[in-house]
Amino acid sequence: MSLRIALSKGRIFDDTMPLLAAADIHPAESPETSRKLILPSTCGKVEFLIVRASDVATYVQHGGADLGVVGKDVLLEHGGEGLIEPLDLGIAACKLMVCGPANLDLSNTKRLRIATKYTACARSHFAASARQVEIIKLYGSMELAPLTGLADAIVDVVDTGNTLRANGLEALEHVADSTARLVVNRVSMKISHELIAPIVERLRAAVEER
Ligand code: ATP
Ligand code: PRP
């Protein structure tokens, strides 16, 4: 029986590969060039599933994958049901922030319009301080929303701040810190503990050695 690890291409993939290599887990084909969505590993004990970043937690929750690597931002938005989060991989570090024009008053009593793909996080962030907001769901290019009048502000991830600066926006309020986490399906952890536990420990050692 082989274990399935859900990964997304892009920054999480690039940063996760060296950690998996240190744990002696290698894809048998290059994920850069292959169009396959299930990639075997050289040891034959692991398969990689290539999914969208925002789908990793869902695959692992429902047992489509046994393990996954996912941003804490995505995990917070997902809710974490059915998942164990044994390890902070310390990669893909960013912050979930409320961002908008520098002069925007977020404590204004008017009902703010917030555009975001993190609708649950945005809702609970503003609810925690009893502020009324209208949430507008977007899937990308969030920075456009305040520039076009679609929304007053956005909730999005910020790393260098370059995207905000390039679009004349600022980070106004902190929502959450995020790094990529290893997640494991709760049931898989029980029934495949002998296979999963050594992988978690090898990854932990690789993270500590980095
Ligand atoms: P999807 O394809 O599902 O829409 P995505 O485009 O957000 O997702 P990535 O850009 O690869 O996918 O981001 C994956 C994860 O990396 C995010 O969930 C977040 O945790 C982190 N991340 C996103 N943007 C940055 C950034 N600019 N710097 C550092 N980490 C980031
Ligand atoms: C993410 C995020 C911001 C940007 C922030 O976008 O949505 O736009 O990174 O990073 P910075 O602070 O270093 O500029 P990404 O590059 O992932 O593009 P996408 O989410 O629109 O696909």
Q: Which atom of ligand 2 is nearest to the CA of 10?
A: 17
Read off the tokens for 15. Answer: 């940063």
- Tell me if 10 CB under 6 Å of ligand 2: no
Average pLDDT for the chain? 96
- Tell me if 142 CB under 6 Å of ligand 1: no
Q: Which atom of ligand 2 is nearest to the CA of 163?
A: 14
Q: What is the pLDDT of residue 110?
A: 87
The DSSP-derived string for 48-116 is: EEE--GGGHHHHHHTTS-SEEEEEHHHHHHH--TTEEEEEE---S-EEEEEEE-TT--TT-SS-EEEEE
Q: What is the pLDDT of residues 17-71, one digit of tens each?
A: 999 999 899 999 887 788 999 999 998 889 999 999 999 999 999 999 999 999 9
pTM of the model: 0.96
Q: What is the pLDDT of residue 33?
A: 86
Q: Tell me, which fold does domain 3-92+179-209 have in CATH?
A: D-Maltodextrin-Binding Protein; domain 2 (3.40.190)
Q: What is the pLDDT of residues 144-185, one digit of tens each?
A: 999 999 999 999 999 999 999 999 999 999 999 999 999 999
**Domains of the chain: which residue ranges?**
3-92+179-209, 94-177
Q: What is the CATH number of domain 94-177?
A: 3.40.190.10
* Cβ atoms of 92 and 179 closer than 8 Å: yes
